[in-house]
Structure 1
Amino acid sequence: MDISLNMVMLIVVLIVIVPFAWFIWAEKSAVSKKKKTFQKIAQSENLKFTKVEYWNNHCLGYDGQENILLYNNLSTSDSEFQKVELDDVRKCVINKINKDYKNGDKHYSEMVRLDLEFTFVSNKPPMTITLFNVDDNFSQNQEVARAEKWLALINKHKYNKNNIVAA
């Protein structure tokens, strides 16, 4: 009786645990492949990241030698890589889009999108890098702090005519 009860418990535990373990392994494998793809694209562009960050389905890297920022949203299979030459950036700002809700006499605000918006010295059109979109990921994990950290790095390395050294 004890052996059959233990076997039933073991089978039930395996039926519950194995799918969770498989989903976790599959997700980590997919993210690992996407990280490798991001690194391969960086290598093909001759970029060597001095700073790189992965979160949710996003990759953002900075090459200090070339002064280039490379971004990719990994949630879509055909996603494009966005390359920003910081020597050409005039201004970068954080654009936080909120949606307001009202429930009786209580007001709520929820972040819907968080972008870094670039304007350039040259005639290139403005560019937007989306760091958070509620449609891609429902959970928030310090996105505002992450955006502020990258904005500080961008402002430190962006085009500044006062920093140009005469040849």
Structure 2
Amino acid sequence: MKIDMILVFAVVTGFVAIPYIAFILFGSGATKKVASRLKAEAARQGINLEQKEAWNGREIALDTQKNKLLFGQLLDEKVLLQQVDLNTVSGVNLIENVVTKKIDGKLQHTLEGVGLELVSKTSQTSSIINFYDSELDAAQNYEVKRAKKWKELIEAQLAPARRTAVAA
């Protein structure tokens, strides 16, 4: 009787554990693809990724010495990279796209997108780093908090440049 219970326990545990482990192993491929591509680009350009963060098929990294920002995102199985020279950036704006809908007589606020707009010193165009898009991602993972953190990091990088410009 005891052997039967152990066998049933092992089978049930196997049915639960094996798919869970497979999901973790095969699901992390997108994150690894973005991370390896970002590392390769950083090595190619001699950028030291001092501060970095990865989430939902995205990764952002900052080189505080060379004042460079790298952002990688997986879209349709392709890794898109953005490199921003922070010496050409005058400011950072947090963009939150919140849509208000009336559902069952109650107003519901839905976060549709979060991004950082990097305003250029020289041109009319600005770069946008997409932290969250509801059409691409089903779940939110503290993207607003993450975007605010990176806004502060980038502004801290821009602060010495502002001080020297004012002093001169």
TM-score (norm 2): 0.84
Secondary structure at 1:136 match in 2: coil
1:112 paired with 2:112, answer: yes
TM-fit CA distance, 1:54: 0.9
Secondary structure at 2:79 match in 1: coil
**Take 1:84 and 1:130, find their aligned partners in 2: how far apart are those partners?**
14
Q: Who is 2:83 aligned against?
A: 83
Is the 1:91–1:119 contact (alpha carbons within 8 Å) kept by the matching residues of 2? Answer: yes
Give the partner amino acid of 2:31: V
Q: 157-166 or 102-111, which moves further after superposition? A: 157-166
**Take 1:161 and 1:25, find their aligned partners in 2: how far apart are those partners?**
45
1:19 paired with 2:19, answer: yes
Q: Who is 1:97 aligned against?
A: 97
Is the 1:87–1:157 contact (alpha carbons within 8 Å) kept by the matching residues of 2? Answer: no
Is the 1:68–1:83 contact (alpha carbons within 8 Å) kept by the matching residues of 2? Answer: yes
Aligned residues: 167
Is the 1:88–1:158 contact (alpha carbons within 8 Å) kept by the matching residues of 2? Answer: no
Secondary structure at 1:125 match in 2: coil
Q: Who is 2:164 aligned against?
A: 163
Is the 2:72–2:81 contact (alpha carbons within 8 Å) kept by the matching residues of 1? Answer: yes
Q: Who is 1:133 aligned against?
A: 133
Secondary structure at 1:74 match in 2: strand
Is the 2:34–2:73 contact (alpha carbons within 8 Å) kept by the matching residues of 1? Answer: no
User: For residues 18-58 of structure 1, what are the alpha-carbon distances to aligned partners after superposition, in whole Å with 9 as ceiling and x for unaligned?
Assistant: 12211112223542343222211111121102211111211
Q: Who is 2:152 aligned against?
A: 152
TM-score (norm 1): 0.85
| CA shift in 2, pair 1:115/1:30, >3 Å | closer
**Take 1:76 and 1:48, find their aligned partners in 2: how far apart are those partners?**
28
TM-fit CA distance, 1:104: 3.4
Q: Who is 1:122 aligned against?
A: 122
**Take 2:87 and 2:61, find their aligned partners in 1: how far apart are those partners?**
16
Secondary structure at 1:152 match in 2: helix
Instruction: Give the ranges of 4+ consecutive aligned residues of structure 1 lying more than 6 Å apart after TM superposition.
Output: none
Is the 1:117–1:129 contact (alpha carbons within 8 Å) kept by the matching residues of 2? Answer: yes
Provide the identity percentage: 25
Q: Structure 1 stretches of 5 or more lacking a match?
A: none
Secondary structure at 1:81 match in 2: strand
Give the partner amino acid of 2:14: L
1:49 paired with 2:41, answer: no
**Take 2:109 and 2:166, find their aligned partners in 1: how far apart are those partners?**
46
Secondary structure at 1:47 match in 2: coil
